[in-house]
Amino acid sequence: MVPTVCRGASARHDLRGNRCGDLRAAESDSAAGRRRGTITEEDAMADTLTDEQWRGLMPLAKHLRLELMEASPERVVARVRHAPELCTAGGILHGGTIMALADSAGAVAAFLNLREGAGTSTTSSNTVFLRGVAGGTVTATARPLHVGRRTIAVVVELVDDDGRPVAQVTQSQAVLT
């Protein structure tokens, strides 16, 4: 089972809002749970996530080697390092990798702004690519633009190691209750 979490209550949800069980059935030993990527009730109530927790929640983040650098309700920072297996022709970082980084950071920003018991799912995403990346890292900074009862809008700015814009993503997330 993929580790899941919601904002408090007894139901657990993944970042896409899928209900997956009962937090009371979660690993009682918080440290052992963290080793397996399980999020405990205490973790779910926090206003932040660690890189380890994020990778447990999003297997794709682990697969793409995305790194969560900072996470709060106001700002989420994540990055991906250039690697040949993440590239398209000519050694340029694949646009899908950049979009996955942006969507993942935006999902965490939305998640950290959910009310207790709610889940989230991306409903739209618009990406504007500004330049290719042939080396180094791409850093995504996600900030909520609007946090409402039914939707959360997030903007994600992506830059290269020199701070030059790589892409900008605007996404909306449904609030699932």
Give per-residue pLDDT as tens, 55-76.
Answer: 777 888 888 999 999 999 999 9
Share the mean pLDDT of the chain: 79
CA distances from 41 to 21, 35, 108 (A): 12, 15, 17
Which token pair is 11? 């139901």
51 pLDDT higher than 90:
no
Confidence of residue 46 (pLDDT cuts 50, 70, 90): low
> Would you say residue 123 lies in a domain?
yes
> Would you say residue 59 lies in a domain?
yes
Q: Domain range for residue 136?
A: 11-176
Domain count, the chain: 1
Residue 42 exposure: Cα atoms within 13 Å on the Cβ side: 7
Say which CATH number the domain at 112 has.
Answer: 3.10.129.10
pTM of the model: 0.75
> Would you say residue 28 lies in a domain?
yes
What letters, b where the CB count within 10 A reaches 16 and e where it falls short, cover 31-51?
eebbeebbbbbebbeeeebeb
How deeply is 9 buried, as exposed, middle or buried, from its count of CB atoms within 10 A (0-12, 13-18, 19+)? middle
- DSSP-derived letter for residue 163 is S
Confidence of residue 44 (pLDDT cuts 50, 70, 90): very low
pLDDT in the model for residue 62: 86
Q: Which of 70 and 17 is assigned the larger pLDDT?
A: 70
pLDDT in the model for residue 33: 38
pLDDT in the model for residue 151: 96
Residue 164 exposure: Cα atoms within 13 Å on the Cβ side: 8
> Would you say residue 46 lies in a domain?
yes
> Would you say residue 90 lies in a domain?
yes
pLDDT in the model for residue 142: 98
| Residue 92 contacts residue 134 (beta carbons within 8 Å) | yes
> Would you say residue 3 lies in a domain?
no
> Would you say residue 6 lies in a domain?
no
43 pLDDT higher than 70:
no
| Residue 64 contacts residue 97 (beta carbons within 8 Å) | yes
Q: Please give the average per-residue pLDDT across 89-108, as a whole number.
A: 96
Helices (H) and strands (E) in the chain, counts: 5, 8
| Residue 41 contacts residue 74 (beta carbons within 8 Å) | no
